[in-house]
């Protein structure tokens, strides 16, 4: 039951429009975002339903998803990047993964790309996505936290039958 509930939660998250936050943040530097139109508060039209907290532990994993980017142009293969919150947010904390849908019984095949502050999709095409990764670094000699930006190419073979890849590669790039 737990895997089915977890899969249901992930499919629900996958249906979300992950580009909304990107579009909101796409305000040119120095300009203020357009104000949101005021909407009158809703008026109740029936009795309230009281909810109790969910007790399925698998939902904790689903609730940790804080970023989701669907990958397009992959033919019959359903692929996405996602990040879960975890670790020390002062030192990265966005556990970044790429996932490929296998089938309803097996769910997603997931590969961990790394622990970063943030990622940006630079480009994508069948069997490949180019990413820019923002990461925290630690100078072991001084104990100071710094940062770096690096780029990587995530690649995988495209199967004729649209099945999920058995492996992916991460290649440093410029």
0.75 cut: is pTM over it? Answer: no
Please give the Cα distance from 65 to 13 (Å, whole number): 8
In the predicted model, is pLDDT for residue 11 greater than 50? no
- Residue where the block lists tokens 């058995």: 166
Structure tokens given for 48:
């309230």
Please give the Cα distance from 36 to 38 (Å, whole number): 6
Q: Looking at residue 17, what is its pLDDT?
A: 44
170 — pLDDT class (breaks 50, 70, 90):
very high
In the predicted model, is pLDDT for residue 97 greater than 90? yes
Q: Looking at residue 5, what is its pLDDT?
A: 43
Provide CB contacts within 8 A for 113, sequence distance 6+: 81, 96, 97, 98, 119, 131, 152, 154, 170
28 — pLDDT class (breaks 50, 70, 90):
low
Please give the Cα distance from 59 to 56 (Å, whole number): 6
Q: Which residue did the predictor score with more confidence, 105 or 6?
A: 105
57 — pLDDT class (breaks 50, 70, 90):
confident
Q: Looking at residue 127, what is its pLDDT?
A: 95
């Amino acid at each position: 039951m737990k895997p089915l509930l977890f899969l249901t939660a992930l499919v629900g998250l996958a249906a979300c429009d992950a580009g909304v936050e990107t579009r909101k943040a796409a305000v040119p530097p120095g300009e203020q975002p357009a104000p949101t139109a005021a909407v009158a508060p809703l008026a109740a039209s029936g009795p309230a339903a009281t909810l109790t907290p969910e007790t399925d532990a698998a939902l904790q994993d689903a609730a940790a998803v804080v970023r989701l980017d669907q990958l397009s142009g992959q033919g019959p293969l359903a692929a996405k990047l996602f990040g879960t919150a975890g670790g020390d947010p002062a030192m990265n904390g966005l556990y970044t993964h790429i996932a490929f849908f296998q089938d309803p019984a097996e769910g997603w095949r997931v590969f961990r790309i790394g622990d970063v502050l943030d990622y940006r999709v630079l480009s994508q095409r069948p069997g490949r996505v180019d990413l820019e990764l923002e990461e925290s670094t630690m100078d072991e000699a001084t104990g100071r936290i710094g940062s770096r930006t690096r780029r990587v190419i995530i690649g995988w073979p495209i199967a004729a039958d649209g099945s999920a890849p058995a492996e992916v590669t991460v290649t440093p790039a410029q």
